[in-house]
Amino acid sequence: MPAKYLISGPAPLGRILNYMKRVHNDDYSTISRGPQGRTNLDDWTICFMVGLNLLNEPDYETPKITFTTNGKRIYRLIKNMSDFPEGVSREVMLELKADIMEHHAKLYKSLVDDFQDSDVVHNFVIFLRKKKKEVYLKQDFYSEFGKIFRIDAAGFNRLPSLLQIAEFCDIIKQEGESFRIVRVTIESPRDVVGKALVESKRVDGRKGELEEEEEDFLADMKDGKIDARREKVIVDRIKRNVQIAQRLKSVYNSQCQICGYTFVKKDGQNYSEAHHLVPLGDRGSDRIRNLVILCPNCHRKLHFANVVFGDRRPNRIVVYINSERQDVQYDPRHYRALRDLQL
């Protein structure tokens, strides 16, 4: 594969996902370098998407752009979704990441698995293995990586997009003018799938699907409206966890566990959001113990404010949000599941 496909491109994550829809619809007029318009696919971005294993190397004679197998799968997941925000800032990427993790879990897992297994990210991980735990974002860092592919410093304004992809995959975490290397060893997605397949075979014995407190919880709350079935498919883990979140919302009547706020949607139901206390990207789980029900405002605070968890009290956890004390209040049935949660 030519070197140009093994580096970064100038497009942020949201724009890359929007390009996927345009490629499917043949909605572009050129793949050469030129002004960025609605129908112009920038050549460097196409190269980046080839390196991310979303697109096949284009036929510049036609020109024709086609999806890889990974690209086809991602397109099927996003084709009916609204366009994604295309802002180039890290903050926009973090908001997009939080939204995808919360509302489109299957898409998030597919993107992370595909990106981690791509040539672009593998190259970056190999590069990071030679670095210290903390790396400063200075020009010499950009130049050093660019020179590997014979790209001079002046033209190497494309690396920040790769940094966004790496942070989306929880490989690095940017902190001001530097970033911290979270991990540089990537387990093959195929191995992860293999482990999940082995674990899913335990369904016949009614073990490995729900933990004991979850079985008790569903038994306590069973009202006949939601079927607690178990299916021999990996994606059913997501179905099951959606079921748990729905049950929790009914326990709290969709009222925020911190401030008590909710609002009524057009369909007459109260609105709330499920939040992972330990993020999935930090090896958090979808278990009851790791989920709380919040209003949108408190949910965003826990994602983006300075948050420090304090002591546990009967049926509550103390949390400091920007140094202001709040309490996450629990139904006793929900609180029983917290015994193993490490915050």
Residue 89: CB atoms within 10 A of its CB come to 12
Query: What local confidence, expressed as pLDDT, does residue 143 receive?
Result: 76
Give pLDDT, residue 124: 83
| Residues forming beta bridges with residue 293, ordered by sequence position | 274
Which tokens hold the place of 75? 């397109």
Q: What value does the mean pLDDT take over residues 100-115?
A: 92
Asked whether residue 93 carries a pLDDT value surpassing 80, the answer given is yes
Q: 64-68, 76-80, 143-147, 189-193 — which is least confidently predicted?
A: 189-193
Q: Quick one: what percent of the chain has pLDDT higher than 90? A: 29
User: Does residue 229 register a pLDDT over 70?
Assistant: no
CA-to-CA distance for 81 and 51, rounded, in angstroms?
A: 24
Identify the CA nearest to 333 among candidates 247, 270, 272: 247
Please determine, for residue 153, whether its predicted confidence score (pLDDT) is greater than 70: no
Instruction: Describe the strand order of the beta sheet including 134-136 as a list of residue ranges.
Output: 134-136, 178-181, 172-175
In this prediction, residues 97-121 reach a mean pLDDT of 90
- Other beta carbons within 10 Å of 203: 15
Within 10 angstroms of residue 232's Cβ, the number of other Cβ atoms is: 10
Domains of the chain: which residue ranges?
3-181, 190-340
**10 upstream amide cis, omega within 30 of 0:** no
pLDDT at 116: 86
User: In this predicted model, which residue has the larger pLDDT, 43 or 217?
Assistant: 43
Residue predicted with more confidence, 214 or 19? 19
Q: What 8-state DSSP symbol labels residue 135? A: E
Looking at residue 84, what is its pLDDT? 92
Contact present, 128 and 181 (Cβ < 8 Å): yes
Q: Does residue 39 register a pLDDT over 70?
A: no
Longest distance between any two alpha carbons in the chain, whole Å = 69
Cβ-based neighbour number of residue 54 at 10 Å: 26
Region 304-330: mean pLDDT is 92
Q: Is residue 26 exposed (0-12), middle (13-18) or buried (19+ Cβ within 10 Å)? A: exposed
